[in-house]
Chains A and B, each alone.
Chain A
Amino acid sequence: MTRFALIGGIYSNWRALETTLSDIARRQVDATFCLGDLGAFGPYPDRVFPLLQQAGVLCLQGNYDNSLAGGLADCQCGYTDPRDNHFARLSYDYTFRNTSPAHKAWLGTLPMSRRLEVNGTRLLLCHGSPRKINEFLWESTSPDGFLGYLLDEAGVDVLCVTHTGIRWHRDLGAGRHVVNVGALGRPENDGTPRVWYALLTIGDSVHVEFIPIQYDHEALAADMDVERLPGEFIETILSGWWTTCLEVLPQKERARGRF
């Protein structure tokens, strides 16, 4: 039996990352993978790098990482709503300014995907989708037939992604699974401050378990306040409701939130 911890969307939340890595250390996993977006949204972007590196986490590039490494003008989330763009700009400019050149260069060395084979089960790990680093795979807009097509095209049985910030798992039968591992960086628009990661166990079958993480979110909010990050971001960390980046949410995910 092989067990992986899958984390994603760190968004500079070094406090949630620290708590999560301690949680993972107690669980006897064979490897921990991070599916990208190390920076964004949170305070002190440089703090997550040593935590990931010391824990031996195998990282992929997310769209944010790709932007930071390449010196791009924005985060490649592609918002058109002026309010979303305003906050995306504040977040990206802060993260770009506060990520060291060495860390930016390191992000550029990360692969955009990883293929694994475990006891005959073929896996693909990537950030957005197997097609695009910044394609959103939401639960309510990813039908079974489409997910089957993605698995067929990639030639794998299990696909693991992040990027949306909200976890889900679809068992398509016959050993085929798609998992969105969620995000550690901010709560998932459910009115609680907890964040999530996924444990993937591969034995005779594939088993997916989502692990909630309670961390010192009030201390993170204080960090963000010191760094003068927008009050709207701090509100999300404290309340669990998304206040920005709402344009890309489909109806079901949007209707569940407060804003």
Chain B
Amino acid sequence: MQVDILTSAAAVELRHLDNLWIQVSGTRCNIECRHCFNNSSPRETTFGLMTLEAVNRAIAAAAARGVREIYFTGGEPFLNAQLLEMVACALAVAPTTVLTNGMLISDRMADTLADLATAARYSLEVRVSLDGYTEQMNDAIRGPGVFRLALAGAVRLARRNLLPIITIVRTWDDADEPTMLAGFTRVLRDAGCDRPRIKVLPALPLGRELTRIAGLQRDEYVTAAMLDGFDRDLLMCSNSRLVTDRGVWVCPLLVEQPDAQLGTTLDEAGRSYELRHQACVTCWRYGTICGNVSARIEGPDIMPAPEAR
């Protein structure tokens, strides 16, 4: 358990449940990435697989609140044998995203996902993680053999016009960004993803990454002064909640933090949350990075004045 808690911190209200995150496979994963923010691995069972009933219940509760998007995460979501039924249920009420390492996307699975995507009224997004554009670069972080299988999964989707969002954790210096992005784009195109969609995430100071970088970075927390005049809509805690087999957490990033569990149901988890963790600084700095569009939406608020006609 990490000990990065700030004792007195600013509280953020849930303005609206825009984003429902569901940890459908718990922390179970078929691989063990060096930077995993929630320590998922083949052996990790802190959080377990969710049942179809529990997932459907969460989707219905969120739909009743006007949820905007639903995200399936883990662990590796495809380890849950009922994932496709869950995706179908979610897509009936909201656009849905699956965050995956892509390794379990066979031709048959890609066919089914593409059929679901075509039939749905809302968008189905599949986010496939890659952390390097060569086997050597990627597998040093994500494990031996991962690159080949993940890329094959992404290509299977792209060939069915279900264009995956390749999600990459930034493990390079800013100066190297253009070269890295050009490398990813070239390799993806050559492999058959001819319209690559790329999302780059900062490394999160959590889980194995926090252990890995211990001593390398200074402690940093969000203070009340930092929120003064800051657009709180950019913070996940203002617009998201994460449902797991053990209850509801404020956001997917803080799932290992006991203080970030806000209740056992979405109803209970509507209360505000105090930003006590170093990871909160990442959200403060970059905006709601976990969503599909990295873009910071921080334009002026609209306050309509009544106008009679």
Contact = CB atoms under 8 A, between A and B. Distances in A.
Interface stretch (B37-45, B215-223, B300-308): B300-308
Interface residues of B, number: 47
A79 B305 CA distance: 30
A55 B77 CA distance: 55
B242 to A, nearest CB: 19
Interface string B99-135: 0000000000000000001000111110000000000
Contacts of A117: 308-309
A158 interface: no
Contact of A111 (B94, B117, B296, B305): B305
Contact of A80 (B200, B300, B307): B200
Given A118-B309, A126-B302, A130-B302, A251 B125 contact: yes
B93 interface: yes
B122 A248 contact: no
B123 A149 contact: no
Nearest to A170: B121
A226 B306 CA distance: 44
B67 A145 contact: yes
B178 interface: yes
A140 B299 contact: no
Given A143-B68, A248-B293, A251-B162, A132 B299 contact: yes
Given A130-B302, A143-B94, A254 B67 contact: no
Size bracket, chain A contacts? 35 or more
A250 B66 contact: no
Contacts of B121: 140
B197 interface: yes
A105 B163 CA distance: 42
Contact of B95 (A131, A250, A255): A250
Nearest to A140: B123
B200 to A, nearest CB: 7
A143 B95 contact: yes
Interface string B219-237: 0000000000000010000
B97 to A, nearest CB: 9
Max count, chain B CB within 10 A of own CB: residue among A124, A138, A140: A140
B163 A115 contact: no
A63 interface: yes
17 contacts: A78-B297, A80-B294, A114-B304, A126-B304, A130-B302, A131-B233, A131-B301, A132-B302, A133-B300, A133-B302, A134-B299, A142-B68, A143-B68, A145-B64, A145-B94, A146-B68, A251-B117
Interface of A: 63, 66, 76-82, 111-118, 124, 126, 128-136, 138, 140-146, 148-150, 154, 246-248, 250-255, 259
